Amino acid sequence: MSQLQDLTRCLLAAGYAARPDRQYLLYTQDGVLISKLWTGDSFGEEELVATSVRPDSSAAILADADDRVIIGITASSTLAAFQYDEDEEEWIQDGALSAYNVHEKGRLSACYTADHRICIVFQNGSGALVHIEETEVDSEGSLDEGAGWTATVLKKASDPLPGTPISTVLDDNGLHVFYVSAADQRVHHLHGGETWADEEMFDQTLGPLQGLVVSTNREKGRFEAYVVTADKAVLQVEDGGDKRELGKVDDNGKLVPSTTAECFFFFYYFFYAF
User: Is the confidence at residue 263, as pLDDT, over 80?
Assistant: no
Q: Is residue 140 over pLDDT 80?
A: no
Using the predicted structure, report yes or no on whether residue 146 has a pLDDT greater than 60: no
- Give me the pLDDT at residue 123, please: 99
pLDDT category at 1 given cuts 50, 70, 90 is low
Flag whether pLDDT at 97 surpasses 50.
Answer: yes
pLDDT top residue among 116 and 131: 131
Domains and CATH numbers, the chain: 2-271 (2.120.10.70)
Gap between the Cα atoms of 160 and 188, Å rounded:
9
Least Cα distance to 223 among 164, 170, 185, 260 occurs for: 170
Share of the chain above pLDDT 70, in %: 89
pLDDT, tens digit, 9 for 90 and up, residues 20-44: 778 899 999 999 999 999 887 788 8
Task: For 253, list phi and psi in degrees, rounded to 5.
Answer: 80, 15
Q: Tell me the percentage of the chain whose pLDDT exceeds 90.
A: 62
What pLDDT does residue 142 have? 52
